Amino acid sequence: MVMVGALTLAAATGTMRFVTTDADAASSATSAMPAPGPSGDSFYQAPSPLPAGTPGDILRWRPSVPLLNVLRANAWEVMYLSTNALGQRNAVTGTVIVPKEVDAARAPIVSFAVGTQGPAFKCTPSKLMRKGLLYDQLAINDSLSSGYAVVITDYEGYGPKSTPTYMTGQSMGPAVIDMVRAAQRLPAAHLSTSAKVIVQGYSQGGGASLWAAEKQPTYAPELNLVGAVAGGVPADLGEVAKGLDGSVGFGFLTFAAVGLDAAYPELKLDSYLNDVGRAELAKAKADFCVEDLLVQEAFKEIGSFTTSNPLDTAQWKARLSENRLGNSPPKVPVLQYHASKDEIVDLSQAETLHKNYCAKGVRLQFDTILSDHLTGVLTGNGTAHDWIVNRFNDTSAPSNC
């Protein structure tokens, strides 16, 4: 990777759709652009109560400087309204990046859903981008290099006083969709509301992109979605969990349990934990990013953390079922790919999703790549990018159903 020096970003003037605490002002589609800010981590703290508005409305914004952009680009961070797993309004942060060398009003948009970053606030994707530490950056740069705008949600829950709702598809899907809406409502970005959109991601991001594609027809019918790219998809969390207990990927299982508990308070994860489990999860939420989950949690077991297994209960099974992909097949073409030697996300459950989608009429290309899960984040990038370019160029989508 080539590190690019800091970009000089000037805040554009104009008008935007944003939300204020004044109901009359919020009802106006356009209002005077608010000043950028706040600076520092307070940007991530959502106002309480949330002001009036609709999904995609911007609560605040500020210029950003992603460190590893391969092209000169304008970038902004935004906080926007979205919808949580219980159907309630929430606030989510994310990043908008637009190459300077393109006509933004004509640029297609890739809504990129990042993979697992970790439960600690320091692992927030937008924070990692500013430090040049986001491992998904190469895929993001592929799209920027082709002249596409890229928008990246942080997902729900990354804040100084909150917990990410990791692997909760019912909140990830809206976050990915509303990130596009927010970018289109940011006047400084100059993006078109009719721009072609593709959702893309790997691992957690692969699941999030398909949740967005499944929800889009009813949640955001106005969005000009033309495709979905999803690698290493954890389509069935219950099946994935079976393979993670006692494995190298055990940390992903604990993070998923924490995420579902944050999304659904009635699950009461703490009531199933022993003292070791409480200490481990508190440490993880305070300080762990993805590398810590892989190194410090490897090969541990649920039984060492709990007095009884919450995944065996009716409440947990019901929420896992609600977050299983496949019930509302996407209306757009899909590229789904998976590592043939995947040690984290079971290949068989991804194949089940593939067959389910095909049976329901989805135009889907399913590929297996010679890789394990961790290296698959890079191995699949070339094919994924070529597929995106072809969709934006209106080439007929391939299918091997």
61, 91 in Cβ contact below 8 A? no
**Which sign does the torsion angle of CA 325, 326, 327, 331 carry?**
positive
Give residue 47's identity as a one-letter amino acid code: P
- Residue 22, pLDDT score: 30
- Residue 66, pLDDT score: 72
14, 188 in Cβ contact below 8 A? yes
- Which fold does the domain 38-235+333-392 belong to in CATH? Rossmann fold (3.40.50)
Give residue 390's identity as a one-letter amino acid code: N
Report the half-sphere exposure of 56 (CA within 13 A, side-chain side). Answer: 20
Buried b (16+ CB within 10 A) or exposed e, 65-89: bbbbbbbebbbbbbbbbbbbbeeeb
Q: Give the Cα separation of 107 and 183 in Å (integer).
A: 12
What DSSP state is assigned to residue 102? S
| 3-state SS, residue 121 | helix
pLDDT surpasses 90 at 386 = yes
Measuring CA to CA, how many Å separate 102 from each of 9, 149, 196?
16, 9, 15
Tell me the pLDDT tens digit for each residue of 129-165.
999 899 999 999 999 999 999 999 999 999 999 999 9
151, 190 in Cβ contact below 8 A? no
Measuring CA to CA, how many Å separate 124 from each of 40, 127, 199, 212, 335?
13, 5, 20, 20, 27
Give residue 130's identity as a one-letter amino acid code: R
- Taking Cα atoms as reference points, which of 305, 255, 324, 313 lies closest to residue 284? 255
Within 333-381, strands assigned E span: 334-339, 364-369
190: left (phi over 0), alpha (psi -120 to 50) or beta: left
Element (H, E) at 287: helix 275-287
Concatenate the DSSP letters of all residues of 181-226 into one string: HHHHT-GGG---TT--EEEEEETHHHHHHHHHHHHHHHH-TTS-EE
Peptide bond between residue 49 and the one before it cis (omega within 30 degrees of 0):
yes
Within 234-349, strands assigned E span: 334-339
Say which residue, 257 or 28, is predicted with more confidence.
257
Using alpha carbons only, how large is the chain's radius of gyration in Å?
20
Residue 65 banded pLDDT, cuts 50, 70, 90: confident
Considering the chain, tell me which residue range(s) the CATH 3.40.50.1820 domain(s) occupy: 38-235+333-392
Measuring CA to CA, how many Å separate 105 from each of 193, 385, 389, 390?
9, 22, 18, 20
Q: Give the Cα separation of 206 and 266 in Å (integer).
A: 27
Q: Give the Cα separation of 328 and 325 in Å (integer).
A: 8
Share of the chain above pLDDT 90, in %: 87
pLDDT surpasses 70 at 1 = no
- The full length of the chain comes to 401
Separation of CA 399 from chain center: 25
- The single residue listed with the structure tokens 């895929």 is 139
Considering the chain, tell me which residue range(s) the CATH 1.10.260.130 domain(s) occupy: 237-322
- Residue 70, pLDDT score: 52
CATH 1.10.3720.10 fits 237-322, yes or no: no
Tell me the pLDDT tens digit for each residue of 220-244.
999 999 999 999 999 999 999 999 9
- Residue 35, pLDDT score: 80
Mean pLDDT, the chain, whole residue set: 90
